[in-house]
Amino acid sequence: MLVLIPQLLTQAEVAYCRERLEAAPWIDGKATAGQQSAKAKFNLQVPQDSPECRELGELVLRALGRNALFATAALPLKVFPPLFNRYDEGMTFRAHVDNAIRPVPGTGQRIRTDVSSTLFLSPPDSYDGGELVIHDTYGRHEVKPEAGDMVVYPATSLHSVNPVTRGSRWASFFWTQSMVKEDATRALLYDMDMGIIALRRDLPDDHPGVLAMTAAYHNLLRHFVEM
């Protein structure tokens, strides 16, 4: 399930992120790549223990906390602290699958990476190439949204970043352990919740159909949730 979350960050927040990242140190993106991904990854990254990464990561986490669409799509249990990367001219990330388990720095804990997220921080007209490409059973899906928009997709997906041929593409990326492990089940629950939201726009909350659908959704959620 591929979901676009528009304007997760306000334009003021995007501008602040850009300002802080301008002054941040950048290292080889292979620093956080697994053995297979390191062979495919050609980009730069802000060190995850840097003050800039920690501060801006908290900003992104606050934005996630106020976004109902992210909650519906990811059903988050744990969120990995957001990281920040950039692709300058000639940089790319060839097709790969994210590591299934990620240790959370400084905690001794690990999360299962069910959902991947990419939050775009560069206007699409400021660079050429750099599309996020999701490969699934329905083919290739190329995504290049506005700055402040975020894309959520299954971490089980083969995905890549097209080579940047002009400019620079900046983004935040992170993973979520969902309360619902299977993507197909999350997709069904997402569709059902979106349907309930649409019904509630046209019908009163106490309408029998709205009540029945809402009850069914929450009872299904109880059945599938792992905590």
pLDDT, average across residues 215-220: 97
Residue percentage of the chain with pLDDT more than 90:
89
Beta-strand runs (E) in 43-192: 44-45, 76-79, 83-87, 92-96, 101-104, 109-112, 115-120, 127-129, 132-136, 139-143, 150-154, 158-161, 164-167, 169-178
Residue 173 pLDDT more than 80?
yes
- pLDDT value of position 136: 83
**Annotated binding residue at 96?**
yes
Task: Report, as an integer, the average pLDDT of 31-39.
Answer: 73
CATH 2.60.120.620 positions along the chain are 3-178
Q: How confident is the model at residue 106 (pLDDT cuts 50, 70, 90)?
A: confident
Task: Report the pLDDT value the prediction gives residue 139, as an integer from 0 to 100.
Answer: 84
The single-letter code of the amino acid at 191 is D
Confirm or deny that 49 is annotated as ligand binding. no
Question: Is 159 labelled a binding residue?
Answer: yes
The mean pLDDT value for 45-57 works out to 96
Q: Is 98 part of any known ligand binding site?
A: yes
Q: Is the pLDDT of residue 34 over 70?
A: no
The CATH number fitting domain 3-178, selected from 1.20.120.530, 3.40.140.10, 2.60.120.620, 2.40.37.10: 2.60.120.620
- Out of 2-11, 99-108, 114-123, 215-224, pick the least confident: 99-108
Give pLDDT tens digits for 66-82: 999 999 999 999 999 99
What is the average pLDDT value for the chain, to the nearest integer?
95
147 phi and psi, to 5 degrees?
-60, 130
Q: How many CB atoms lie within 10 A of CB 181?
A: 15
Has residue 35 got a pLDDT over 80?
Answer: no
For residues 132 and 33, the model is more confident at 132
Q: Please determine, for residue 30, whether its predicted confidence score (pLDDT) is greater than 90.
A: no
Q: DSSP 3-state assignment of 93? A: strand
Residue corresponding to tokens 């992210």: 70
Q: Considering only 28-37, 132-141, 162-171, which range has the smallest mean pLDDT?
A: 28-37
